Homo-oligomer: A and B are copies of this chain.
């Protein structure tokens, strides 16, 4: 493991910075060909190579500090609220009294911070494969990594796939998969065997939420994820999306699935975190999530839906009438 930080990093710039707009970070990837979002870099704060990926932290001029893994923006201080709050409260506000929650990935701690707002939660496990992400978040993103400080949290550094296999059946009320894109170390987290392990680890009527790419860019990946989830999860299976400016195309989606058991209606939150303000005193107010935006997140543009599916009126996802120019 090679780690550079502070002043030494500046001498040897990562390719994504030096190769495009001088002094700007540009996010170029085969996952979004022909476009790139660029952010002006004030200072590179950390640069390292873990056993799994390249890790970069820089101070931007207008988005606060930015965390980048393998050239892809994971979070900025300015808009991380949208992702962390939505991926957490969409599932947890959809079930009554979540008690045991597992987070897979999410090494920055932001999802933990949001899970910890729920006073019903008694136990929060997190399995993150890359310790460097945790360490870097604690050093540079204290308002995100604060999630690790909750006494209900147990950290497991390791492979989420292996961790899940060892979990006794029916353990968790909710599992949140906060992964990077399905190219690289997170690939397995988008495949059917992994979804099977998730379903097994959940109690009847338990819920899982995983990040599920952009409807503007990745309809085929999303169609595969939806099809896989419909085979594995026998309860509700719904797709939601939200705005995150620094993610490609400015949006990110979420796959929400429930196991067979008590009915879960993801579109109508029954456990509204924004109605209970006890968490606000210690953690500050929610910046993005509220019950209205929860329900709105399940409304998809016409190009992303085609007909009604059998599952609770959720629309099937198709690209058939999408981009025909």
Contact = CB atoms under 8 A, between A and B. Distances in A.
Contacts of A250: 243-245, 247, 249-251
A321 B247 CA distance: 22
Contacts of A40: 33-35
Contacts of A293: 299-302
Nearest to A315: B292
Given A64-B325, A251-B250, A34 B39 contact: yes
Contacts of A97: none
Contacts of A26: 21, 38
Given A21-B26, A250-B245, A143 B325 contact: yes
A62 interface: yes
Given A216-B245, A249-B250, A285-B302, A35 B63 contact: yes
Contacts of A286: 302
A163 interface: no
Instruction: Name which of A38, A40, A295 has the most chain B CB atoms within 10 A of its CB.
Output: A38
Interface in A77-131: 77-79, 81-82
Nearest to A79: B216
Interface residues of A, number: 55
A302 B289 contact: yes
Interface in A250-292: 250-251, 274, 285-290, 292
A274 B302 contact: yes
A21 B36 contact: yes
B38 A61 contact: no
B216 A301 contact: no
A322 B35 contact: no
Contacts of A78: 323, 325
A37 interface: yes
A189 to B, nearest CB: 25
A323 B288 CA distance: 11
A290 B301 contact: yes
7 contacts: A34-B61, A250-B250, A287-B302, A287-B322, A288-B301, A289-B301, A290-B299
